[in-house]
Amino acid sequence: MPRQKGIMNRFALFVAVGIATLIPASLSRAQETNSYPKANLELFEATTGIVLIRGTDEAGVVPGKTGGITLKCREARDVATNRREFGVAVIVTQSEGYEDTTVVDYDELDALIRALDYVGKVDWAISSMGHFEASYTTRSGLKLASYSSRRSGTVEAFAMSNRLVRSRVQLTLAQLAQIRIFLEQAKAKIETIQKEK
């Protein structure tokens, strides 16, 4: 019996040490996915002590090869000061059901659209290496990229959101171009709203 009790104590110690090493590793992973700062719109929406009006409007949906992308125009307005912030929420939904949203501020939309003009048109001549990736990452962690796929022998694309849960959707270059069009339309819609009020 004493021998069996000693084995059980060692086993319990082994399990405790294993758990103690796994918990910090999982916490550091969670911190890694939240390493991008929040968008200005998200920071404004988190303001306390004010009456805040939020508005959303769907800008487009792009079904991907492994999930889909939904784009929504967003506005937040402080009733007292009439201060407004605008942006586009990009919701990346994997086919497994994982979903993550990254907000892109209005002031970053031009740069993102220009980047997609380049990223969406790359081909094998872009690099002398056997593999390439051309990508753009927004301040708040939305990554849109095209890359060489040895498996299919074509240039493919993906969208990845890194806010809370890393969510990635495989896309064709045509689907990436559709995202660019919806972003451009969302930007135009925001500019129309800004002129009206």
Asked if the model's pLDDT at residue 28 lies above 60, the reply is: no
Beta carbons of 126 and 157 less than 8 angstroms apart: no
Task: Work out the angle between the directed axes of helices 109-119 and 173-196 (0-180°, nearest 10).
Answer: 160
Asked if the model's pLDDT at residue 34 lies above 50, the reply is: yes
Q: What is the mean pLDDT of the chain?
A: 86
Identify the band that residue 27 occupies on the pLDDT scale cut at 50, 70 and 90: very low
d(C-alpha 86, C-alpha 107), whole Å: 9
pLDDT value of residue 1: 57
d(C-alpha 49, C-alpha 79), whole Å: 11
pLDDT digits (tens, 9 = 90+) for 70-87: 999 999 999 999 999 999
pLDDT value of residue 43: 95
Beta carbons of 187 and 109 less than 8 angstroms apart: yes
- For 96-107, the DSSP string reads TS-EEEEEEEGG
Identify the band that residue 31 occupies on the pLDDT scale cut at 50, 70 and 90: very low
The residue with greater pLDDT, 29 or 154, is 154
Burial class (CB in 10 A: 0-12, 13-18, 19+), 128: exposed
Asked if the model's pLDDT at residue 59 lies above 50, the reply is: yes
Long-range contacts from 159-163, C-beta under 8 angstroms, 24+ separation: 159/64, 159/69, 159/90, 159/92, 160/92, 161/90, 161/91, 161/92, 161/100, 161/101, 161/102, 162/33, 162/35, 162/36, 162/100, 162/102, 163/33, 163/34, 163/36, 163/100, 163/101, 163/102
pLDDT digits (tens, 9 = 90+) for 167-184: 999 999 999 999 999 999
pLDDT digits (tens, 9 = 90+) for 133-148: 999 999 999 999 999 8
Asked if the model's pLDDT at residue 35 lies above 60, the reply is: yes
d(C-alpha 121, C-alpha 138), whole Å: 19
Q: What number does CATH give the domain 40-196?
A: 3.30.2450
Asked if the model's pLDDT at residue 97 lies above 70, the reply is: yes
